[in-house]
Amino acid sequence: MSDRKIDFSVIDPKRDPDRWNRMVDATVQRALAQRQGNAFAVTLLEWARPALLVAAGMALVSWCGVTVRQKEMVEQRGTDEAAWVLTRWAVTGEEPSVASMLVVLGAEPQ
């Protein structure tokens, strides 16, 4: 009695071949689109890391440049001040203050 197959053809989606093919095609198209979308996201992610490294490198170089320039400006200002103090002392004979002398000798200006 239980050796014969049950007839499930009434619930077989392949019973209507056109509809079945449309279902297969729709599934394939959606799966492909999903996969390609993911591939694009993966590519973006793959590029994101090197791009981030490059940006970080550029930021570092730029920061170093600004720091060096600031230091140069401070040194330049110190040199200018020393020259001015000494010239004034030589021309007027007026003794510079202790603070000015310390700057001339290389101390950081207050």
Site residues for other proteins per CB under 8 A: 1-6, 8, 10-14, 23-24, 26-28, 30-32, 34-36, 38-39
> Cα separation of 29 and 21, whole Å?
12
Q: Which two tokens stand for residue 62?
A: 């730029």
Closest distance between other proteins and the C-beta of residue 19, in Å?
A: 9
Select 23 or 60, whichever has its Cβ closest to other proteins. 23
Closest distance between other proteins and the C-beta of residue 36, in Å?
A: 7
Select 2 or 92, whichever has its Cβ closest to other proteins. 2
Closest distance between other proteins and the C-beta of residue 20, in Å?
A: 8
Select 34 or 97, whichever has its Cβ closest to other proteins. 34
User: Which region holds residue 93: left if phi is over 0, alpha if psi is between -120 and 50, else beta?
Assistant: left
Closest distance between other proteins and the C-beta of residue 50, in Å?
A: 22
Select 31 or 83, whichever has its Cβ closest to other proteins. 31
> Cα separation of 38 and 65, whole Å?
40
Q: Which two tokens stand for residue 44?
A: 């973006």
Residue 66's CB is within 10 A of a number of other CB atoms, namely 10
Side-chain-side CA neighbours of residue 67 (13 Å):
6
